[in-house]
Amino acid sequence: MSTSSRQAAGGDSRSSRIAVGSDSRDSVADSIALTLEEAGFAVIRCGAVEGPATPWPEVAEQVGRLVAQGAADAGVVCCWTGTGVSIAANKVPGIRAALCKDAETARAARRWNGANVLALGLDAATPDSAQAIVDAFLGAGGVDPEEVPNVERVAVMERRYGATRDARRTREG
C-alpha cells in the first residue's frame, strides 16, 4: 500500500480508518483487512471479518453507517457476488457504494462518482486480485473537480427521495 493510498483514504496511515466487512468468513476478506493493517491503516472489522457470519444486509449497513457517520474514512464490503452488499450499503444515506471487479473501475468509481464504499465479490477474487482493487480504490485521490457537480446532484437526489420515503412511512403508520 503506497503513501498516496493512505493519504487518499483520509490522511496518513495513523489517521486513516477503513471499515472492512464480509457476510461470511473468507480468506479474501481476511487478507484485505490484514494487508491494510500491515500498511498502517486503522481497520474497523465488521461482520465475519470480526466474528461470526453476518447476513449481508447487516454487514453492509454496519460498514455504511461507520462511513456515513465519519467513524471510518472509507469502507470495503464483501459477499459472494458483491451485489447484495452494494445494494444494501447504498441504502445508508450518504453512501455511494460501487461494485468493482477490477482496479480501473475502482479507481474511476472514486474519482468520477465519489464512491466511499467499495463492494467486492468473493466468487472470483483472490487475495492478490482483491487487494489490487482495494489499493486502486483507496489510492485514487479525491473526486475529479469536473465531477463534483455530478456527485452533488446525487446527494440532492438522495435528500429528495429520502424525504419522500420518510413522509410515506409516516402516513402509512
Which is the catalytic residue, given 46, 78, 79, 100? 79
SS3 129: helix
Q: Does 78 qualify as catalytic in the annotation?
A: no
173: CB partners within 8 A, 6+ apart: none
Closest CA to 69 of 44, 48, 47, 39: 44
C-alpha cell read off for 147: 465531477
Q: Do residues 7 and 13 lie in contact, with contact meaning Cβ atoms separated by under 8 Å? A: no
Sign of CA dihedral 6, 12, 13, 19: negative
Task: Judge residue 40's burial from the number of C-beta atoms within 10 Å of its C-beta, 0-12 exposed, 13-18 middle, 19 or more buried.
Answer: middle
Distance of CA 82 to the CA centre of its chain: 11
Which residues have a catalytic role annotated? 79
